[in-house]
Structure 1
């Protein structure tokens, strides 16, 4: 059976099903942003979550499922999942930062406001916060970055893989539109990526991770959006912005991350005015899939 006809059951489904969820959408910069609102809307703390490259809100749901006492608002990035592309801004870091400031500002959050970014989302969150001169500048109470991209991607422990990815996206851009779009959604390439990033030895968990990537990793609107977002993801990193983020910050890093090694995460921590680093052992760039409970405990401890 194809992934579209038979899905692997989520190990976090029961916990997630116990959370109430509402969906809504808002128009921002010429696009429609769809978002999911989990938990008690009157909870004293609200987390706004920004997912990683080529994913959508589903990717952070395992973490959401572990935080029942918090309200969580999780949008699909413009051009990904159920959100339409921006028409009044580019899909680069500046464009995504503008989008995030406008999105968070549209929510009218009362009480404690926490901003969380995972992977590429960590760059978007950092860029949005670092621009203090922006007329719509964000001022959350706290910041959480999970699997933060703490140094240029080409300097990571698997720089060769990043170079192969750059070639892959370059080829997708060079081919005729239909062929390039098909290459970006090629299931075999998506599976190679998934196998490379997963560190768990649990076979059932690995199957579920691969199923998640099969289902959601190609949920982007068009070729141009994903190519622009990829360029943004390898052209910037959190270290560019850290010194300009005064908010109390939690970095949740992975011992075996193939994109930012743990030594770079310790260097990144020192760039922030006020940052705490929690390292989760035995996991790589998929904290949100493999160790969401550990990530949630780190977040709860930080917020407490």
Structure 2
């Protein structure tokens, strides 16, 4: 069981590690933990980010978590996002492969001890895919799962005319990035709820603007094919929390309700007025639930 952390993020240490995915993609990975050595059986929280974002989307949660618990926190950039390489020998991007990437990260930087897995949006889908393809790890090591603003399938896209064709074209664009074409106004309207701090919108816009356009298109297609309903069976006995904002336009409350219905152990939490970016809109709430999972019965 983890213990209350009396220090602060000022006393945490951080290291950057490159992890090789099964297809050879180089995954930029960060490990943050208290400066004082942790026990061998200390828990690790692994955080997977969403489509077009990077590990920085979890920074506020990581800071709060390290202020409150003696725990190791691992975050990483998904293929084609942030500082990670493009997906390697895959013929097409897939959420199923992202589950194997998560397994590679765990094996490389958290090979022992209990785990709490958290995923936002595409990161939540990554956690589901991991559960489906690595059920032995889930049974033996996972103490809890936090699924934030996510879905097991049946996604309908962004709701913009002609977006499917545009995304197919972007998937074949060389290493160009969104840059100035990504606006704060557009991100505010699409991703946030009733109230949004301009600094949060700017941070989100910066992450999306830096993402390779080829990755935006390739993973849009992957999300359209995504179906992990069968994998949810592997979370049946795992304490699971499903978080969603009632203003979420990308993965609406209906998707969260389906998750909770399919996972008997799941607690559904709907946040009034919040949108899709709960790592910015509700970092304290996310941290509260992560702490509860860390202190769970497993």
Query: TM-score, normalization: structure 1?
Result: 0.79
Q: 2:192 aligns with which of 181, 194, 198?
A: 198
Q: How does 1:34-113 map to 2 (within 5 A)?
A: 34-40=28-34, 42=38, 44-68=42-66, 69=69, 70-89=71-90, 90-113=92-115
- How far did residue 77 of structure 1 move? 0.9
Partner of 1:4: none
The correspondence for 2:219, drawn from 229, 252, 256, is 229
Point out where structure 2 has 5 or more consecutive residues left out of the alignment.
1-7
Give the CA deviation at 1:234: 2.4
| Aligned-residue CA RMSD (Å) | 2.9
CA contact (8 A) 1:187 1:214 kept: no
Aligned-partner Cα distance in 2 for 1:133–1:275: 17
Instruction: Give the Cα separation in 1 of the matches to 2:264 and 2:205.
Output: 39
Match of 1:20 in 2: 13
Give 1:252 shift. Answer: 1.6
Question: How far apart in 1 are the matches of 2:101 and 2:50?
Answer: 15
**Structure 2 length as normaliser, TM-score?**
0.81
Give the alignment partner of residue 168 of structure 2, picking from 150, 167, 170: 170
Residue 130 of structure 1, aligned match among 111, 129, 132: 132
How many residues are paired up?
A: 277
**Gaps spanning 5+ residues in structure 1: where?**
1-14
C-alpha displacement at 1:210, in angstroms? 2.6
- Of 227, 239, 256 in structure 1, the residue corresponding to residue 229 of structure 2 is 239
Q: Distance in 1 between matches of 2:115 and 2:171?
A: 39
Give the Å deviation of 1:126.
0.4
The aligned counterpart of 1:3 is none
Tell me: CA distance 1:215–1:242, structure 2 relative to 1, closer, same or farther (3 Å): same
Moved more, 52-61 or 88-97: 88-97
Any idea what the Cα deviations from partners look like across 1:89-121, whole Å, max 9, x if unmatched?
353122222221122122243322111111011
Structure 1 segments, 4+ long, off by >6 Å, are 133-138
Change (3 A) 1:109 1:171: closer
Distance change >3 Å, CA 24–CA 54, structure 1 → 2: same
